[in-house]
Chain A
Amino acid sequence: MNGAAFIVISVLTLAAAFAAATLPNLMHAAFCLVLALLGLAAFFFLLGAEFVGLALVFIYIGAVAVLIVFTTLLTRRDSKEHHGLNWSGVLIAFAVFTGLMWAVLKTQSLSIVPPHIRALTVNQIGQALMTGYVWPLQCIGLLLTAALIGALVLVMEEKR
């Protein structure tokens, strides 16, 4: 793992995430969210979880970001006004950040370097999914089916 790569990726990810949270224009924010998620996928590659990084790119950037852009276009009539920030939310977020920083920096056992491991292959992931994790996999399939059918039912035009 490379320290310079870590710093570059984290600066890019956090800057893109902050832009996505504060930009007034929703389309710009959606593109910044895509950038932030690409940075997150780069973190996963850095940590040796290539399969999950690729899945993140496919699912978040291929599906979720496109969904956000579509919803923006469908509800565009009032995407300009009401972009004032609610300052109590900013205060709460900053307080949570301070608390988390205090906890992370105070815990001495967290400053460790990664152990050397064998690379995780897709074969291993597939074997684990099909043996020990087969019931959770089925449940997640059921959950996704139910969620997508529910989303369709929610947006279907009502018969009058």
Chain B
Amino acid sequence: MTPTLQGFLIVSSALFCIGLLAALSRRHAIFILIGIEMMLAAANLNFIAFWRFAPQPHPPTGVMIEIFSIAISAGEAAVGLAMVIAVYRHYRTTNVDQYDQLKG
């Protein structure tokens, strides 16, 4: 039995929702970044799955988009973690509930 496209989509949507759970329900800033990374990873799995199950175009478009997406998520992680450190210097905490200076 070979797995169908549906199986890969189910796994990637489960991974996306676990990432959403981490990003929405945790209060630690680094956990939120971990959740965002997981959501990006689920999107990457979708790109590769749709590329593999479609008729093959000459340039491997899905793989190309995947490479660019990995590069973007690496940049996002670097900037996000730098922001966590910068905010930690001011507030001395990583609890996002206490970052409320801009709250009206």
A86 and B25 CA atoms in complex are apart in Å by: 4
In the complex, the number of residue pairs spanning A and B with C-beta atoms less than 8 Å apart equals 247
Contact of B63 among A49, A59, A81 (CB under 8 A): A49
Contacts of A18 in B (CB 8 A): 18
Contact between A85 and B9 (Cβ–Cβ < 8 Å)? no
Task: With A79-B94, A120-B60, A154-B86 as known contacts, state yes or no: A93 contacts B17, CB within 8 Å.
Answer: yes
Residues of chain A from 90 to 146 with CB closer than 8 A to chain B in the complex:
90, 92-94, 96-97, 100-101, 104-105, 107, 110-115, 117-118, 120, 124-125, 128-129, 132-133, 136, 140, 143-144
Q: Footprint of B on A, CB under 8 Å?
A: 1-3, 6, 10, 13-14, 17-18, 20-22, 26, 29-30, 33, 36-37, 40, 43-44, 47-49, 51-52, 55-56, 59-60, 63-64, 67-68, 70-72, 74-75, 77-79, 81-90, 92-94, 96-97, 100-101, 104-105, 107, 110-115, 117-118, 120, 124-125, 128-129, 132-133, 136, 140, 143-144, 147-148, 150-152, 154-155
A-B contact pairs, 17 of them (CB 8 A): A13-B15, A14-B15, A22-B21, A29-B34, A49-B48, A49-B63, A56-B70, A74-B88, A83-B26, A90-B24, A104-B10, A111-B5, A112-B53, A125-B60, A143-B75, A144-B71, A155-B85
